[in-house]
A = this chain, B = another copy of it.
Amino acid sequence: MVTTTSSAVKSRPETERKRTEILKAAIEIFGAKGSTNGTLADIAEQVGMTHAGVLHHFGSKQKLLLEVLAYRDQSDVAELAEQHIPNGPALFAHLVRTAFANALRPGIVQVYTVLSAESVTDRHPARSFFEDRYTVLRREVVAAFGELCAQEGVTDTDTIGHASASILAVMDGLQLQWLLDPSAVELAEASEFAIQAIVNGVLRPGPRIGTYVAD
Task: Please name all residues of chain B whose beta carbon is closer than 8 Å to the beta carbon of A158 when the two chains form the complex.
Answer: 189
A88 nearest CB neighbor, chain B only: B214
Please give the count of copies of this chain that the complex contains: 2
Q: Which of B114, B131, B163 sits near A121, CB closer than 8 Å?
A: B114
Q: Which of B33, B93, B176, B214 sits near A210, CB closer than 8 Å?
A: B93
Q: What is the bound-complex CA distance between A109 and B116, given in angstroms?
A: 15
Most buried by B among A120, A192, A203, A213: A120
Contact A176 B117 (CB under 8 A): yes
- Please judge, given known A-B contacts A122-B33, A169-B172, A172-B172, whether A200 and B206 are in contact too, CB under 8 Å: yes
Residue A162 lies at the interface, judged by CB distance under 8 Å to chain B? yes
Chain A interface residue count, Cβ-Cβ cutoff 8 angstroms:
76
Residue A185 lies at the interface, judged by CB distance under 8 Å to chain B? yes
Q: What is the bound-complex CA distance between A208 and B168, given in angstroms?
A: 18
Residue A113 lies at the interface, judged by CB distance under 8 Å to chain B? yes
Task: Please name all residues of chain B whose beta carbon is closer than 8 Å to the beta carbon of A180 when the two chains form the complex.
Answer: 119-120, 127, 130-131, 134
Minimum CB–CB distance for A95 against chain B, Å: 9
- Please judge, given known A-B contacts A120-B113, A135-B184, A172-B172, whether A196 and B201 are in contact too, CB under 8 Å: yes
Q: Which of B172, B192, B197, B215 sits near A176, CB closer than 8 Å?
A: B172
Known: A117-B176, A130-B180, A151-B212. 8 other contacts (CB 8 A): A113-B117, A116-B117, A166-B193, A166-B194, A169-B173, A197-B197, A200-B207, A204-B206
A residues whose Cβ falls under 8 Å from a Cβ of B = 32-34, 36-37, 88-90, 92-93, 96, 110, 113-114, 116-122, 127, 130-131, 134-135, 138, 148, 151-152, 158-159, 161-163, 165-166, 168-174, 176-177, 179-181, 184-186, 189-190, 192-204, 206-210, 212-215
Q: Which 7 A-B pairs have the closest CB atoms?
A: A169-B173, A197-B201, A117-B117, A200-B206, A166-B194, A162-B190, A173-B173
